[in-house]
Amino acid sequence: MCGICGVIKADNILPDDLGAVKRMNQSLIHRGPNSEGYMDHDKVALAMRRLSIIDLEGGDQPLYNEAKNMALIANGEIYNFVELKRDLEEQGHAFSTKSDCETIIHAYEQYGENFLDKLRGMFAFCLYDYKNNKVILARDRMGEKPLYLYKKDKDIYFSSELKSIIENIPKEKREIDLDSLYLFFYYGYIPDPKSIIKNVDQLPAGHYLEIDLNNGSQRQVNYWHKEKDFETKGSKSQDIRKTLEKIEEMVVRSDVPVGVSLSGGIDSSLVAILAAKNSKDKLHAFGVGYLHYPINDERSRAKKLADSLGMIFHDIEIKEKEFVSDFETMVGKMDDPIADIASYGYYRVAKSAREQNVPVLLAGFGGDEFFWGYDWVRYAANINDLKAKGVMGKIVALVKLSNFYFRHLIKRPFIFIPLVLKASFSNKIISFELNPLWVYMKKYEGEMFESKFIDTIDKGLPDKIKEAKISDKNGSVLTKILSQTWLLSNCINLGDRMSMAHSIELRLPLVDYKLYEHAQNIHDQNPDDYKLGYKYWLIEAVKDIMPKEILTRKKMGFTPPVTLWTKHLIERYKDKLTKGYLVNKKIIRQDFIEEALKDMGKNMKFLYSIMLFEVWVNKYIK
């Protein structure tokens, strides 16, 4: 695990460019505290910081091929490096290290453009091919590792973190991308591939960018298509089980101690059970709980499972005053602002892992998104099916949606009736419309924003990003939307930033692209499989190795005491809400915020979002 950065110039590298790359690299020290590496040649300057996980002594970067006419800097882990290295050696390749990442450069030599098909893992890298005078920037299929791009004239700056790129943009020239800010209010995060800073984007997940240094031309390629049909060899549950066991066998490969973020739910428990089965070393488990908030405290269950697996259990109890005290620091560790209050739990787990000298953490992200783990997504699928059945179906959908909105989101008829009517008779996928923040924005944006801001942005963007037409592959559509938005730009991004803030490598066994392919096959071939219930196929695949009490336990989530924490934050940052950047820049109306503060319960998600953004913008823009 590392941080990488560099510049690809239209002309030759100059001393100022080397200084810029050095500044970027220094800002990534938390991603790689163990060593650093630099190289420059003609139009390319590369740098990296290394967190040593595999081949502690010999894996420093840049890495080179045998002829030294190709160089590589890489962030991440190639989980199948043992098998891939064996295949490449059989074809005559000679390795100079035991690093998993060295397989990337030899695979490129051997397989050409198809080399990315051979890699299984999480990665973002820059491969400089001197021989053919080109550069390849690539990102893994599920987007676990970030790669930001800043195009300045004909030059390209890239880095593992937005914070690193900002180092080379003078404060007076750092501009908020207003369309991205508008998306942030709707989603609570900024969907990939956009970023909050103008002229900075992310290389999309599952893509590579090829730059021809002879003429400066660029070619961006989507090398993994989520829409294609994937091969299924066995039964549904057998395919899932085999995939889980294989990926877990690979992700526990490490030359340093490994731990598991263990909540006591199905996903993290499954990761712990399979990791314990495949690991030769004693594993650590980290459980989070909240003082005076027993409702979502699963530490006792997590410890019970950890003890049964022979793991060392670390108990983390979080107090609201710690959250408030650490809030600015935590937000500063984010790249794009992400208004998920659960982020502090991730932050503290990673901090504890670093204190215990456990540099690798496994977590259970992905199970909910791939296998119908959210009630509202199953509900949305049901509504979409009804709507596809003509007028009578739309009428039934109208009744069901009315009940849902009234019970769960808003209890004022003048608000929810227009929303329900529109949702029921539209031919668009209903998904984000069931999100409270989305509903809030649809209702209040007319009185919330200043006219100057509204006239500037593309108001259709939130709908364009999630929009998809109903088809006979409804389940596939919904889970693809969820995986490419919430899972990627909220959960995965938070996991990466909060873990790397403490120099911890986070591995997500369930966010494996082959597992995703099996899940999509099931949804595509069985459009009504959501009716089978909560994570049906995942549970079927693992029920013989999972304690029954875990499989039948009600889903709880990673939810802290939201009301209490938000109230304490507002007490501390009230002036940032009413007199901050958003008010001064004529984006949000001051009187709207003042009114929102009078009814915190109704406006809590909105208030938390703008509070987090104000802290973020104060650090990086103001």
Under the banding of pLDDT at 50, 70 and 90, the label for residue 295 is low
Residue 545, pLDDT > 50, answer: yes
Contacts of 518 (CB under 8 A, 6+ apart): 230, 232, 236, 239, 240, 243
51 and 505 Cβ atoms separated by less than 8 Å: yes
d(CA 159, CA 78): 19
Structure tokens at 309: 């697996």
pLDDT confidence tier of residue 469, bands split at 50, 70 and 90? very low
The CATH class, in words, for 2-222 is: alpha beta
* Amino acid, single-letter form, for residue 137: L
Segment among 431-440, 537-546, 597-606 with least mean pLDDT: 431-440
pLDDT tens readout for residues 9-42: 999 999 999 999 999 999 999 999 999 999 999 9
Q: Classify strands 258-261 and 360-362 as parallel, antiparallel or unpaired.
A: parallel
Tell whether the torsion through CA atoms of 510, 512, 518 and 523 is positive or negative: positive
CATH 3.40.50.620 fits domain 236-371+529-551: yes
Q: Outline which parts of the chain fall under CATH 3.40.50.620.
A: 236-371+529-551
- Residue 476: what pLDDT? 64
Q: Is 280 helix (H, G, I), strand (E, B) or coil?
A: coil
Question: Where do you find CATH 3.60.20.10 in the chain?
Answer: 2-222
Residue among 336, 334, 327 nearest 189 (CA)? 336
Q: 473 near 318, Cβ under 8 Å?
A: no
Report the SS3 class of residue 361.
strand
Q: How many residues are listed for the chain in this entry?
A: 622
Average pLDDT, the chain: 90
The pLDDT tens digits of the residues spanning 419-462 come to: 677 677 777 777 766 777 887 888 899 999 999 999 999 998 88
Least confident of 327-341, 356-370, 447-461, 513-527: 513-527
Burial class of 170 by CB neighbour count within 10 A (0 to 12, 13 to 18, 19+): exposed
3-state secondary structure 476-541: HHHHHHHHHHHHHHHHHHHHHHHHHCCCCEEECCCCCHHHHHHHHHHHHHCCCHHHHCCCHHHHHH
Which pTM value belongs to this model? 0.94
Q: Which residue blocks in 335-473 are alpha helix, DSSP H?
A: 343-355, 367-370, 375-387, 391-404, 413-425, 436-448, 451-456, 461-466
Give the per-residue pLDDT at 275: 96
Structure tokens at 162: 């937005």
Contact in structure between 314 and 356 (CB atoms under 8 Å):
yes
Going by their DSSP bridges, the two strands 70-78 and 121-129 should be labelled as: antiparallel
The helix/strand/coil state of 285 is strand
- For residue 397, the tally of other CB atoms under 10 A from its CB is 23
Q: Do residues 119 and 104 lie in contact, with contact meaning Cβ atoms separated by under 8 Å?
A: yes
pLDDT value at position 376?
Answer: 83
- The conformational region for residue 113 under phi > 0 = left, psi -120 to 50 = alpha, else beta, is alpha
Share of the chain above pLDDT 90, in %: 69
**Rounded distance between C-alpha atoms, residue 604 and residue 173, angstroms:** 33
